[in-house]
Structure 1
Amino acid sequence: MRQRLLRGANLYSPHPCLAATIAFDDDGAVPPADAAAALGRQLGAPLPPAAGADIGQLVAQVALMLQRSCGHALDFAHSEPLAPGAAQRRVVIQYALEHVAQRALATALDMVGAAMRGDDYDAPAALAALHALSLALALPPRIAELAGRARALGIPVLRASEHADLVQFGWGSRQWRFVDAPLADTRLLTNTIVRDRLLTRALMVEANIDVPAGTTVGRLEDALRVGRRYDWQVVVKRRHVGGDERQWRCAGEAELTAAFALAHAGGGDVVLESFEDGPLAVVAVDAGGARHASAPVRRLCEGAAAKLGLAEARVGVVDTRLGPLVTALGGAADAGVLDAAERERLLLAEPDQGRIPLIAVTGTNGKTTTTLMIAHAVRLAGLRTGTTTTQGIFIDERIVGQGDCTGYWSHRAVLGSPEVDFAVLETARGGLLKRGLAFDACAVGVMLNVSDDHLGLDGVETVDDLARVKSTVVAVARTAVLNADDRHCVAALARLAPGAAAILFSMDAANPALRGHLARGGASVWLEDEAIMLADGAAARPVIGAAAIPATVGGLARYNVANSLAATAALHAAGFDPAHIGAALSTFVSDAATNPLRSNIFAVRDFHIVLDYAHNPAAYAALGAMARGMAARVPGARAMGVVTSPGDRRDADLRRIGETCAAAFDTLFVYESLSRGRPRGEAAAVIADGVRAAGGPGHLDTFGGAAEAVQAAYRLCGHGDVLVFACGTAVSTLIEAVRAIDPDGAAALERQAAGEGSGQGGV
């Protein structure tokens, strides 16, 4: 059984859900309808009629009823075949507590299996175990009551984990934190948290700050189990800071047993941490201390201090290369200490329901660049901005996490940061399918476009399926920004929440959907005579000329003109005026240093190289159009493409990429990148078949890797040519490939990649 915890609004429901793939033997001795009736008697209430007709629905309804028996008010259960005619079912059930939902589903599978076979099943014992688990994980009554009142007011409620009673109410700089203790403290609960190693660890993990692997235990047998997992290389500490601050470093079972007895003396949980992790991790945070000069350490400590709301912090850091370090530095100042009653009163009176403005951006192409455009404009307004992209997590311009950060946990890291006044979150298909949204609502949801990409994965078989996934973002938005040139985006109007507004954008001033929206008094943004225009129930106003936006490459990068339209609409919806939006777009820099792999343009010798992450037909068509426009400036110059796509795409998708590239480029070099289950070279061969079938350019070569393809294309480049290197994984891939055949050219690329005169762009 494969499971996914969809922790927020998702493809199936606006509520958190557990999605699982189950396989069931339909050849049981008891018909499903009779099994459903028997299960209803065991559970003390009849199951819905649908449960007797479908084995997946039967499992889903039993799992839902088991959770209801724990006092959880839930009503959504869904089942569908994994594919047409497939025996496997996808079961989706709403939940209140993750661990309870997982146990309920496992119990439901056992109960249904026994009922279908006609076997006896000890339902009372199973129910008792489930109820005990639910009770153990439930919030204390005082915090649960406060959480209910906050939710009724629309205030977001986020629990640090189901094993900790720390609850965050609200987002970013407007958040409050509470635990089950009637103590005077700051709105961030700073004084309480820094004295509790479990709560400190939970917040460091949420903030994407490295901490050693570890856990909290209350029994020796659990401590020994953890010790074995860490190969007996552990540090033992008391959970609560204060009094005896001794720590014990253990290297064996006997040492751990003795250390646990000392740490556990007088009661209280014990923290165990591995000391083999590294290279750099936070192990403690409190106030005051000495300074350390290492820049990476200081960045780590600044994040830790700010997360806890400390104006001055002493942060303990372990570096396996250098040993223990301690630094002191400024964090985010807090508003002061308040008694518990006053903290509750102020929370429940929190302006804007404790929410910071949140703009979420989704679509097939253009997400990263549009996200960065919007975030740049927000920062120019002086607001502390939290941003997630495929490159990382950023608080203002400080990177706090690296990699593809477009899903649930990255978004939660931003929304949980006290340093953030405004969130701009790139939201990708994968994150939506794997974890759902990290937010219940957003001020602005942007849906840029939908085209064939990643089809045949995770149950997404068609572009319509993909559009349904991506429209999850705009379905929870107060204002949806939609591309009027894309029928899937226009269709998403039907998914908007009651009372939500919409802003349409279009590259065509005469677009029928846009004109109709304008006629009905709706706000719209469009391109007219190469200028971005904005109307919102009044006369249209110009914002900026497309060619004045550096990322559009003088207007040739039409996809970045479209991205600029979307950014304009989103910023307008968030309350920014046209003058500010125009100024922001005119100063937005998108190059290899600030927006790598998004149409980074390099001048080398007497030609240009465009580096881009393009890997689907729409992106290749857009890149080819820009390259041809650039090459047209020099008589006889060519648009040359070094292209690929990962092997997990379907044959038809790879051929379509080949067909698109055949029309987009004058010369093609197809290479194998990520085979992903295919024989090495097969994906490139299928793309090349598509090129030939479309009667592609006269020059077509295939290669086993990127370096050989880039080098072959580079050698053929002449005066004015534009070479597009697509689906690259890093700027260094291009530089190192060129270095092997032209060291001086590689040096020029290196200087530009560092921000010394590099060009702009970005699909």
Structure 2
Amino acid sequence: MSAKNDIRLLRINHLRGPNIWTYRPALEVWLDLGELEDYPSNLLPGFTDRLLGLLPNLMEHHCGVGERGGFVERLREGTWAGHILEHVVIELLNLAGMPTGFGQTRSTSQHGVYRMVFRARDEQVARAALAQGHALLMAAINERPFDVEAAVNVVREELDDCYLGPSTAAIVEAATERRIPHIRLNSGNLVQLGHGKRQRRIWTAETDRTSAIGEGIAGDKDLTKTLLAACGVPVPEGRVVESPAEAWDAAEDIGVPVVVKPSDANHGRGVSLELMEQADIEAAFGIADAEGSEVIVERYVRGNEHRLLVVGGKLVAAARGESLWITGDGESTVVQLIDSQLNTDPRRGETEDLPLETIRLEREPVMRQLLQRQGLDGDSVPAAGRRVLVQRNGNMAFDCTHEVHPEVAAMAVLAAKVVGLDIAGIDLVAEDISKPLEAQGGAIVEVNAGPGLLMHLKPAVGTPQPVGRAIVDHLFAEGESGRIPIVGVAGTRHTHTVARLVAWLLHLRGQPVGLACRDGLFMENRPVQGGDCAHWEAGHRLLMNRRIEAAVIENGPLAILRDGLPYDRCHIGIVTDAEGADTLAEHDIRDADQMPKVLRTQIDVVLEDGVGVLNAADERVAALAPLCDGEVILYAPDPANAALAAHVEAGGRAVRLQGRSAELLAPDAQPQRIELSAWGEATRAEAVLPAVAAAWALGVAPALIRAGIETFDAELARNPNPTR
């Protein structure tokens, strides 16, 4: 069979928020199959077997069949290349460590052109997977060799560069489980949990409640010990030294064995333990001096090293370290034994998602010194059966959370409070963590700000601890979601006026309100950006603002198709009409009957305790009501509207125009009327009625709504579209 031409990627669009495909960010790709439109998979001899040879795990894809092997069944029956590319990309993401289950491929009105979409947590990772998947698919079609491992590595490298670290990811995942939204604020691990004024921020395991002074104290080990000792926390005697000779003098005063360590190092770097000899102590000074700003010599405390995690005044996890040993065979060098006996541990590696690091002697001066004290170096060949100590500390591997004695836990909590940290990693040495420290001569040796969580999330031995959830619970009380009221306005008719009126009514209630609409971007009733701001970026800016207590965001159909919504869920979702199909041809929207699929996105994201506000005068809009997870309020300028009447009869709330008044209808209550004055004109009523319904849903008093409507024209005069 002759070679087939490449699939052309016509357009790649990153949908950053809820969209017509899914609630989550996705990558939408427009494909032109070219001649492959005439060659489904069953007409490509040997293709299915070649593809499975490259990606055998495609057998696990259920596809539309709903069971293992479903996708392969589709391949053998015959499916088109766009659908196949979707599954290839998803499988590459899975192999790279970003599990992805969602994908869809749909034909368009153009022959051979398809829209393929898949879940995209990060745009750059998704684009890398698409490029590699495209190349793999064409190689399988045209019987060319392809290096799958290299392709996966390309995606994995992009993932390592872009994705959150394991500690931050655990906190974000715990927030998501509590339905707390998050926004990534930089390319690293600075993340906002919640929106507007109710947000909290994390940076790995530090929060916006973490004291800068506390962090500074924790970075100075000598000062930390002084403060802890003053408060009755057991710490080893020690002092700062400035030279190798002074280190030996201090050791003689304290009494050997001693520890020599830098004053501000992390992860056990530069820490030498149980030193007895002058030469070893003086050599350890140089190692420590290279790691930190000052060097401390302190009494050696016998026992195992432990890391206790304190969050918000509570002990939430504990891990115990282990010493690392190798056993000689009479033939292999120390380096070879380390590689064969220690580095083969699947828990070790260079990536952040592994709890233990690969051991490389060339970057570990403390290990080299420890070997030297045993008369060895990396090239030495230990005798068969000889046990060689390679590492004493910094190798937390065993979860011991449930072994910690209450007095030990209380001492760790006190240490965190003394230093001034809301989240702290407390390093202590004790022979038995299930007994009080004083009785066994144990001591707290360090207090760390921003402690790593991986040892608790993935202990080598023992039960993983829900430390991410503990941090989220520390930041948000039970029942708090971090959400501010969000009002989303979708449609084409008067939507910017609806958005502005809703924002004005909330402003009069005394709330700092953010508004993004076609008239511009407004913060607390102050224009900050002109031009059309009914788009994702402007809405996102509102949600990041720590002053904002409510946000009103206009979302036209084009913005939904191009970017998705700037929020995951909203309290009020308004749909005014189902018009505008004639402006959306580039998105393959050709007639009005396709519009509800676009506009339903706004209703799909209404929270269970929220409200969807729908125009009963448009049958296509009113038909969206069953899709709303929350309550529905219908509105209509015609007081005799049949859909509105039926909704009220069924126990629903509604707003209708009655003369020059908006009439609020609720079950088992007398109608309330709000005088609209000049707003009673039919064309303007299309804007005021949904705004009144939204304000009512948010609990704005009818009297305040009335006052807001009366003063709204003056507000427009003060703050017109800044571009005019």
Structure 1 runs, 4 residues or longer, greater than 4 Å off: 27-31, 182-185, 187-192, 341-344, 594-597
Q: What is the SS of the residue equivalent to 1:503? A: strand
Contact 1:407 1:431 in 2 (8 A): yes
Contact 1:50 1:57 in 2 (8 A): no
Contact 1:177 1:187 in 2 (8 A): no
Question: Paired residue for 1:404, among 499, 524, 532?
Answer: 532
Matched, 1:177 2:201: yes
* Counterparts in 2 of 1:103 and 1:402: CA distance versus 1, 3 Å: same
Matched, 1:353 2:481: yes
Q: Deviations over 1:577-621 (max 9, x none)?
A: 222222211221268745657xxxxxxxxxxxxxxxxxxxxxxxx
Displacement of 1:190: 13
Contact 1:29 1:118 in 2 (8 A): no
- How far apart are the structure 1 equivalents of 2:34 and 2:536? 35
Letter in 2 for 1:527: L
* Counterparts in 2 of 1:166 and 1:530: CA distance versus 1, 3 Å: same
Q: What is the SS of the residue equivalent to 2:542? A: helix
* Counterparts in 2 of 1:365 and 1:41: CA distance versus 1, 3 Å: same
- For residue 491 of structure 1, what is the aligned residue in structure 2? 623
* Counterparts in 2 of 1:595 and 1:458: CA distance versus 1, 3 Å: farther
* Counterparts in 2 of 1:189 and 1:97: CA distance versus 1, 3 Å: farther
* Counterparts in 2 of 1:567 and 1:189: CA distance versus 1, 3 Å: farther
Larger relative CO (CA 8 A, sep 6+): 1 or 2? Answer: 2
Contact 2:637 2:657 in 1 (8 A): yes
- How far apart are the structure 1 equivalents of 2:35 and 2:144? 15
* Counterparts in 2 of 1:593 and 1:529: CA distance versus 1, 3 Å: closer
Displacement of 1:185: 4.3
- For residue 660 of structure 2, what is the aligned residue in structure 1? 530
- For residue 423 of structure 2, what is the aligned residue in structure 1? 340
- For residue 143 of structure 1, what is the aligned residue in structure 2? 168
- How far apart are the structure 1 equivalents of 2:47 and 2:422? 56
- How far apart are the structure 1 equivalents of 2:21 and 2:509? 37
- For residue 26 of structure 2, what is the aligned residue in structure 1? 17
- How far apart are the structure 2 equivalents of 1:596 and 1:511? 34
Matched, 1:369 2:501: no
Q: What is the SS of the residue equivalent to 1:589? A: helix
- How far apart are the structure 2 equivalents of 1:175 and 1:425? 18
- How far apart are the structure 2 equivalents of 1:403 and 1:364? 17
Q: Deviations over 1:360-389 (max 9, x none)?
A: 111111111011110001000110101001
Displacement of 1:128: 1.9
Matched, 1:570 2:595: no
Q: What is the SS of the residue equivalent to 2:566? A: coil
Contact 1:177 1:188 in 2 (8 A): no
* Counterparts in 2 of 1:191 and 1:115: CA distance versus 1, 3 Å: farther
- How far apart are the structure 2 equivalents of 1:16 and 1:409? 14
Displacement of 1:346: 3.1
Letter in 2 for 1:44: P
Matched, 1:426 2:554: yes
- For residue 44 of structure 1, what is the aligned residue in structure 2? 56
- How far apart are the structure 2 equivalents of 1:133 and 1:730? 41
Matched, 1:467 2:596: yes
Structure-to-structure mapping, 1:167-206, within 5 angstroms:
167-180=191-204, 182-183=205-206, 185-186=208-209
- How far apart are the structure 1 equivalents of 2:471 and 2:97? 29
Matched, 1:8 2:17: yes
Displacement of 1:188: 11
Displacement of 1:183: 4.4
Q: What is the SS of the residue equivalent to 1:565? A: helix
- How far apart are the structure 2 equivalents of 1:189 and 1:414? 27
TM-score where L is the length of structure 1:
0.55
Contact 2:214 2:421 in 1 (8 A): no
- For residue 158 of structure 1, what is the aligned residue in structure 2? 183
Q: What is the SS of the residue equivalent to 2:583? A: coil
Contact 1:114 1:121 in 2 (8 A): yes
- For residue 583 of structure 1, what is the aligned residue in structure 2? 707
Question: Paired residue for 1:451, among 579, 588, 603?
Answer: 579
Matched, 1:113 2:138: yes
- For residue 94 of structure 2, what is the aligned residue in structure 1? 68
* Counterparts in 2 of 1:480 and 1:185: CA distance versus 1, 3 Å: closer
Letter in 2 for 1:470: L
- How far apart are the structure 1 equivalents of 2:605 and 2:133? 31
- How far apart are the structure 1 equivalents of 2:163 and 2:703? 50
- For residue 481 of structure 1, what is the aligned residue in structure 2? 613
Displacement of 1:562: 2.1
Letter in 1 for 2:686: A
Displacement of 1:127: 1.2
Displacement of 1:81: 2.2
- For residue 58 of structure 1, what is the aligned residue in structure 2? 84
Displacement of 1:511: 1.0
Displacement of 1:559: 2.0
Matched, 1:395 2:535: no
Displacement of 1:474: 1.3
Q: What is the SS of the residue equivalent to 1:59? A: helix
- How far apart are the structure 2 equivalents of 1:26 and 1:61? 20
Contact 1:187 1:343 in 2 (8 A): no
- How far apart are the structure 1 equivalents of 2:653 and 2:48? 52
Structure-to-structure mapping, 1:614-653, within 5 angstroms:
none
Q: What is the SS of the residue equivalent to 1:482? A: strand
Matched, 1:414 2:440: no
Contact 1:484 1:490 in 2 (8 A): yes
- How far apart are the structure 1 equivalents of 2:633 and 2:512? 25
- How far apart are the structure 2 equivalents of 1:127 and 1:438? 31
Letter in 1 for 2:107: P
Letter in 1 for 2:612: A
Q: What is the SS of the residue equivalent to 1:457? A: helix
Letter in 1 for 2:619: R
- How far apart are the structure 1 equivalents of 2:527 and 2:213? 24
Contact 2:175 2:472 in 1 (8 A): no
- How far apart are the structure 2 equivalents of 1:29 and 1:90? 17
Contact 1:388 1:406 in 2 (8 A): yes
TM-score where L is the length of structure 2:
0.58
Displacement of 1:187: 7.6
Larger Rg belongs to: 2
- How far apart are the structure 2 equivalents of 1:37 and 1:496? 45
Q: Deviations over 1:644-685 (max 9, x none)?
A: xxxxxxxxxxxxxxxxxxxxxxxxxxxxxxxxxxxxxxxxxx
Matched, 1:90 2:115: yes
* Counterparts in 2 of 1:184 and 1:427: CA distance versus 1, 3 Å: closer
Question: Paired residue for 1:99, among 124, 127, 131?
Answer: 124
- How far apart are the structure 2 equivalents of 1:91 and 1:393? 33
* Counterparts in 2 of 1:23 and 1:30: CA distance versus 1, 3 Å: closer
Displacement of 1:543: 3.1
* Counterparts in 2 of 1:349 and 1:519: CA distance versus 1, 3 Å: same
- How far apart are the structure 2 equivalents of 1:338 and 1:404? 44
Letter in 2 for 1:5: H
- For residue 310 of structure 1, what is the aligned residue in structure 2? none
- How far apart are the structure 1 equivalents of 2:565 and 2:212? 26
Please tell me the root mean square deviation across aligned C-alpha atoms, in Å. Answer: 2.7
* Counterparts in 2 of 1:590 and 1:338: CA distance versus 1, 3 Å: farther
- For residue 35 of structure 1, what is the aligned residue in structure 2? 47
Displacement of 1:356: 0.3
- How far apart are the structure 1 equivalents of 2:666 and 2:673? 13
Structure-to-structure mapping, 1:246-265, within 5 angstroms:
none
* Counterparts in 2 of 1:461 and 1:544: CA distance versus 1, 3 Å: same
Q: Deviations over 1:467-521 (max 9, x none)?
A: 3212211111131100000112112124323xx2110001122211111110111
- For residue 281 of structure 2, what is the aligned residue in structure 1? none
Segments of 5+ residues of structure 1 without an aligned counterpart are 193-265, 268-336, 598-728, 732-763
* Counterparts in 2 of 1:27 and 1:589: CA distance versus 1, 3 Å: closer
- How far apart are the structure 2 equivalents of 1:188 and 1:394? 33
